[in-house]
Every structure is written in structure tokens, then in C-alpha cells.
Homo-oligomer: A and B are copies of this chain.
Amino acid sequence: MTASLPDALVLPAGDAHLREQTTQSTPLVSGDFLHMVRDQVSLPNGLHARREYLLHPGAVMVVALLDDGRVLLERQYRHAVAHSLFEFPAGKLDLDEGVLPCAARELREETGCLATHWAVATRIHPCIGYSNEVIHVVFAKGIVMGEPSLDEGELLDVCAATLPDLLVMAGDGRITDAKTLAGMLWLQHVVSGSWPLVWSELA
């Protein structure tokens, strides 16, 4: 049967047969942090539907390469899933903040580390079903320790792991955070040389 399936690489670039048009957008709730909207949409086949999702300012995740070959990792309690999880340092973009300044700020605030070299790798969507969040994946190297400046309500462990150790932790279920697993796919291909990065110095 498989011969009848088209190849993803040769699907038409256009998506007019899939694309929805928004006809109405209504705010549903604005919390301290989460903002939900409900849109009315029209489908290419003429039908109508309702779509609910969260508005998110976007975020940055930092894969910080230490000189000893390890990568920075955090462990943080995540109330929504009621577990302490390992993850790469990450945080939301402030209003009008650029990706690299945000990456440097989050890394400094959460881990105390500074970096001399930065590279934007890609952007990922953590939650395409119900959030417009985009996470910019940024690599950092030339890491120098400083002092963390966490909010008093922000508690986390900072630690480090080699790529082989990260893979062991993913394989045995100790790393379950999807953005971190996606970052590990990138890390693996950056380390192997198959997905080269363009590094720049950040003043």
C-alpha cells in the first residue's frame, strides 16, 4: 500500500486546501499569565468551526555548551504536570525583546552563566493544538559562571550533563519535556556536524 502514499518532500508547497480563514475572534479569559481566545473560522470546504487557543508572547530555549563538553540543564517543579522535570533553560520573551538578548537574560537569571558566542538554531512549536507559542532554540558557548538572580518564587536546580548522559535520561524516561527532547535532536546533529550553526559574538 505504501507506494500510493505521496512523499512528504514533494507535497505541493501551497496549502489552500487546508488553510482556515478567521471570521471572528473573541477573548475568552485573561488570567495572570494565560490569555485564551475563541475564533470562528471558515474551512476550505465551506464548513465553519470554532477554535480555542492561548496567546503567548513566544519564548527562547538555550542549549549552553560548557567547555568540559557538558550541557547546562535545570531541574524545576512544574505545577501543571505535578513533577520536577529536567529541561534546558528557557523563558518568555519580554515585550519588544530580541531573541538573543532574551536568551542571554534567561541564561544569566536562571543559571548565573554568561556566554561569549551565540547561534540561533531553529524555532519550534510546543503546542500546535491550542497555543500560538513559538520557542526559539539558541545555542551558547564560551560559558562563564556568574551569580543567578532568580525571583524569590523561582526555585530550581542547575546541573549539567553530557550528550550521552542526556540520551540515557531520555531513553529511560527521566527527560520528558518535549522542547528539551527537540533541543537534544538539534544538539545531536550539531555535535555530529550535520546541522552546522552560524555563531556570533553578543556584546
Q: What B residues does A34 contact at CB under 8 A?
A: 36, 52-54, 130
Copies of this chain in its oligomeric complex: 2
Contact across chains for B67 and A8 when beta carbons are under 8 A apart: no
Contact across chains for A143 and B2 when beta carbons are under 8 A apart: yes
Q: Does A94 contact B (CB under 8 A)?
A: no
B-contacting residues, A99-140, CB 8 Å = 113, 122-135
Contact across chains for A39 and B4 when beta carbons are under 8 A apart: no
The answer, among B80, B130, B173, B182, for a CB contact under 8 Å with A178, is: B182
Contact across chains for A19 and B84 when beta carbons are under 8 A apart: yes
Contact across chains for B31 and A52 when beta carbons are under 8 A apart: yes
B-contacting residues, A153-186, CB 8 Å = 153, 155-161, 165-171, 173, 176-179, 181-182, 184-185
Contact across chains for A165 and B53 when beta carbons are under 8 A apart: no
Contact across chains for B159 and A5 when beta carbons are under 8 A apart: yes
Q: How many angstroms from the CA of A6 to the CA of B113 in the assembled complex?
A: 14
Q: How many angstroms from the CA of A177 to the CA of B51 in the assembled complex?
A: 18
Min distance, Cβ A41 to any Cβ of chain B, angstroms: 6
Q: What B residues does A39 contact at CB under 8 A?
A: 79
Contact across chains for B167 and A129 when beta carbons are under 8 A apart: no
Q: How many angstroms from the CA of A65 to the CA of B160 in the assembled complex?
A: 34
The answer, among B17, B41, B77, B143, for a CB contact under 8 Å with A19, is: B77
Min distance, Cβ A183 to any Cβ of chain B, angstroms: 9
Contact across chains for A84 and B161 when beta carbons are under 8 A apart: no
Q: How many angstroms from the CA of A31 to the CA of B35 in the assembled complex?
A: 13
Chain B minimum-CB-distance residue to A51 = B79
- Chain B CB within 10 A, most for which of A33, A86, A158, A188: A33
Interface CB pairs A-B, < 8 A, 14 = A1-B145, A4-B145, A5-B158, A5-B159, A7-B70, A8-B159, A28-B31, A31-B38, A32-B50, A39-B79, A51-B80, A85-B128, A124-B181, A185-B188
